[in-house]
Amino acid sequence: MTTGKISKIAGPVVTASKMKGAKMYDVVSVGEEKLLGEIIELEQDRAIIQVYEETTGVRPGEPVESKGMPLSVELGPGLLNHIYDGIARPLKLITEQAGDFITRGVNVPTLDAKKKHDFKPAVRPGDTVIPGQILGRVQETSLIEHRVLVPPDIQGKVKSIENGDQTIEDTIAVIHTNKGDKKITMRQYWPVRKARPFQQKLAPDIPLITGQRVFDFMFPVAKGGVAAIPGPFGSGKTVSEHSLAKWCDADVVIFIGCGERGNEMSDVLQEFPELIDPKSGKPLMERTVLIANTSNMPVAAREASVYTGITMAEYYRDMGYDVSLMADSTSRWAEAMREISARLEEMPGEEGYPAYLSSRLAQFYERAGRVINLNSSKGSISVIGAVSPPGGDLSEPVTQSTLRISKVFWALDAPLAYSRHFPAINWLTSYTLYDKALAPYFNKEVASDFTKVKARTMTLLQKEAELKEIVQLVGPDVLPENEKLILETSKSIREDFLQQNAFHDVDAYCSLTKQYKMIKTILHFHDVALKALEKGTKVVDLANLPVKEKIGRMKYDQNFEDHTPSLWKQIEQEVEA
């Protein structure tokens, strides 16, 4: 182990000398308070270290010790249902040790080493095992069964295997490999900046169902896909990310609060344990890992937080689960990179961001995907990254670099947010590239004309935008009745379908079938009205029909699917009358 001395301190960046032998990205303990840091540059015998904690009071001359291994996260049963900081220290334990405020030099492990887990073996002595194979199972929470896998670098014959209560430190199996006997524990360490291996990436063809109409119906993301939500402040990024974390149909959810607000994290902490999974009836927190590195927590740990999160996601993917990871917000992560880069006095690229910004973003997002694991099971990681462009200007580097990688673009829009149209996703500028890949799924699972209905909806909305330009110039009166009807129907699509209330008991989650029936109802009204126009009815009169109010309330109707036929009948009767 290499021990050196501090020669310079400037905020979170510390330079140490006499560090020959230390490796790039090794974890180091800095100063007498043993602050945690990571080597990010080596020059002769000097190492430049980013420190994950506040460096106030640290002096030149204090010792620096390299731990000889890169920044790693402890993996094993007991990860779920907890909240960690950016370097995977459980915040609850930090509170117990250090009190209500985060002080320095707190050293706590990610996992509880004393807790006993009921380990059920899946192999027998004498079996030959390959990397990634399931050695045994532990019921981690009531929702998730934790599969203990053979580490990626080990294969051979099982010599012995345990059964029953074990801690993560106990040897649960001994595997005879060609390099001798290896003791396996349920705990593994994995360097966060290195992707965990898999066999093969698959093309995504299953949607991630989110229960949000504008996402599922209009701009769906595939399991294993990457979506970006850029938007100015106040446009509802965080609420959207929360809704996705709550309702998406992934097995495991990793939520990273990266450089965001403390009060929001405490809100998540209070709310998530109370939310119930609609499928299993169990608390959603049982499938969730929260990572919170708020904006005022050390900036280097913020930089690490997204890697910590995705490593955990890969760990569960390897078990064969569909994992979704929400990062709120990746701009804060990019800013952390910029801040550290500036302290290193690196040559800046665009807007002061380091030149490697886009390659780092790409590396991170490439860790998403639907794959065949080492053990031949299938798993996926979907990444949904919020982006906070300064001033809402989408031409800035973080948004642009993200858009080059992500396949789905959910554009949040300030004017929509100002008129309280939530989710404030602009239907004209947003897009998804999974449309074609997912069409067979929707047409098979929901309705055979699903994609046609969707295309028609889109056309109506586009037509509305064109007509609105004309109205801006000459007023609405000059339009012919059938175009006025398009405006009326589009308004209905926007208000009665696209708008969704994340805080309403019924409306917060909308099933695919209900989504389909809702839009069909609106289009049915359009069709019936179109016929009535031919007989000389005016759109003004149609817009005032009592049934319009019912259409407006269908989103709040818990049993809407049963009520659809009667509503259609009412539409027909009223329009014809």
Contacts with other proteins in 55-94 (CB under 8 A)? 55-61, 83, 91-92, 94
316 burial level (CB within 10 Å; 0-12, 13-18, 19+): buried
Based on CB atoms, which residue is closest to other proteins, 251 or 260? Answer: 260
Does 102 help bind other proteins (rule: CB under 8 A)? yes
Closest approach of Cβ 52 to other proteins, in Å? 13
Interacting residue with other proteins among 164, 278, 352, 480 (CB under 8 A): 352
Q: Give phi and psi for 125, each to the nearest 5.
A: -55, 140
Closest approach of Cβ 339 to other proteins, in Å? 5
CB crowding 251-264: b at 16 or more within 10 Å, else e: bbbbbbbbbbeeeb
Here the tokens at position 23 are 């490796």
Closest approach of Cβ 348 to other proteins, in Å? 5
Candidates 373, 313, 316; CA nearest to 131 is 373
DSSP state of 332: H
Based on CB atoms, which residue is closest to other proteins, 184 or 254? Answer: 254
Interacting residue with other proteins among 296, 359, 429, 573 (CB under 8 A): 296
Of 227-286, binders to other proteins (CB under 8 A) are: 232-234, 238, 257, 259, 261-267, 269-270
Terminal alpha carbon distance of the chain: 87
Of 490-549, binders to other proteins (CB under 8 A) are: 495-496, 503, 540, 544, 546, 548-549
> Mind giving me the DSSP string for 403-456?
HHH-SEE--B-HHHHHTT-SS-B-TTT-EES-HHHHHHHHHHHT-TTHHHHHHH
Interacting residue with other proteins among 342, 403, 458, 467 (CB under 8 A): 342
Based on CB atoms, which residue is closest to other proteins, 352 or 440? Answer: 352
Stretch of residues binding other proteins (CB under 8 A), selected from 109-117, 144-152, 319-327, 411-419: 411-419
**String of contacts with other proteins for each residue 455-494, x by CB under 8 A:** ----------------xxxxxxx-----------------
Closest approach of Cβ 367 to other proteins, in Å? 25
Cβ pair 384, 224 in contact under 8 A: no
Alpha carbon 170 to its chain's center: 33
Q: State whether residue 280 is helix, strand or coil.
A: coil
Closest approach of Cβ 93 to other proteins, in Å? 9
Q: Which residue has the tokens 């490439």?
A: 366
Torsion over CA of 7, 10, 15 and 16, rounded to 10 degrees? 50
d(CA 317, CA 315): 5
Kindly state the number of chain residues that form the binding site for other proteins, as judged by CB under 8 A.
81
Closest approach of Cβ 335 to other proteins, in Å? 6
Does 335 help bind other proteins (rule: CB under 8 A)? yes
Stretch of residues binding other proteins (CB under 8 A), selected from 6-14, 108-116, 118-126, 245-253: 6-14
Based on CB atoms, which residue is closest to other proteins, 224 or 232? Answer: 232
Cβ within 8 Å of residue 256, ≥6 positions away? 291, 293, 305, 306, 308, 309, 325, 326, 327, 328
Tell me the C-alpha to C-alpha distance, in Å, between residue 352 and each of 53, 345, 377.
23, 11, 43
Of 552-571, binders to other proteins (CB under 8 A) are: 552-553, 556
Stretch of residues binding other proteins (CB under 8 A), selected from 36-44, 222-230, 308-316, 328-336: 328-336
Based on CB atoms, which residue is closest to other proteins, 274 or 279? Answer: 274
Of 36-55, binders to other proteins (CB under 8 A) are: 54-55
Q: At what angle do helices 560-576 and 512-534 cross, to 10 degrees?
A: 10
Closest approach of Cβ 248 to other proteins, in Å? 22
- Tell me which amino acid residue 576 is: E
Interacting residue with other proteins among 26, 38, 216, 339 (CB under 8 A): 339
Of 170-199, binders to other proteins (CB under 8 A) are: none
**String of contacts with other proteins for each residue 299-318, x by CB under 8 A:** x-------------------
Side-chain-side CA neighbours of residue 524 (13 Å): 20
